Amino acid sequence: MIAIRVVVWMAIVLVHGSVIVLIPYLLVCANIQLFSGDLGIFRWLGFLPIMLGGLIVLWSVWDLTFTGKGTPAPFDPPKEFVVRRLYCFVRNPMYLGDLLVLVGESLLFESAILLIYAVLMLCVFHLFVVLHEEPTLKRKFGEPYERYREAVPRWIPAWRPYQQPLVCHDRVAPKDFK
């Protein structure tokens, strides 16, 4: 069992590493200039979304792993419905973290191609969520997930945490929660 988890975690690191590190690195190295622009000292502001996005990804993975008793990988998903911390404000914090990293990289490297890549990844994430994740979660968790889906935004975080009828403070909603 531990060997399987190690392989799953290697796959997760490989996928996220490719999306937010390897592919952006290759795009920057390709030196594709769509238009020229110099942000000057403001380019260093790109570190803020990079750091925030990285923390969001790590926090989301932590919750899916330890609260959900699984992994973020589609082939080893969480066994419990996770409705806590960041998941009380937005349904897809891990993908938002990835996008923040990409936007930060586009600022830091003054790269329009990275910004276009971030928009492309938003489209990929959206299609994956709508066509795979949401139907899977609805089948697996039923009515509690439906209530959550109706109350918590998919992409733009809510100002207030989702608390009704599920409690978000360090609790997990069981499958048969009414």
Mind giving me the DSSP string for 129-149?
Answer: IIIIIHHHHHHHH-HHHHHHH
At 5 the pLDDT is 65
At 11 the pLDDT is 73
Distances (CA, A) of 44 to 6, 55, 102: 35, 18, 14
At 97 the pLDDT is 96
At 148 the pLDDT is 93
At 165 the pLDDT is 57
At 32 the pLDDT is 84
Q: Where are the domains of the chain?
A: 2-173
Query: From the first residue on, what is the mean pLDDT of each consecutive set of 10 residues in the chain (178 residues)?
Result: 68 84 93 81 96 94 87 82 91 96 96 95 97 94 93 93 58 46
Mind giving me the DSSP string for the chain?
Answer: -HHHHHHHHHHHHHHHHIIIIIHHHHHHHTT--SS----GGGGGGGHHHHHHHHHHHHHHHHIIIIITTS-SSTTS--SSEE-SGGGGT-S-HHHHHHHHHHHHHHHHTT-HHHHHHHHHHHHHHHHHIIIIIHHHHHHHH-HHHHHHHHHS-SSS--SS---SSS--SS-EE-TT--
At 38 the pLDDT is 86
Distance, CA of 16 to CA of 97 (rounded, Å): 11
- 61's tokens: 């993975």
At 71 the pLDDT is 78
CATH classification of 2-173 is 3.40.50.720, yes or no?
no
Distances (CA, A) of 31 to 23, 44, 105, 110: 13, 19, 14, 11
At 120 the pLDDT is 98
Residue showing tokens 């409690």: 167
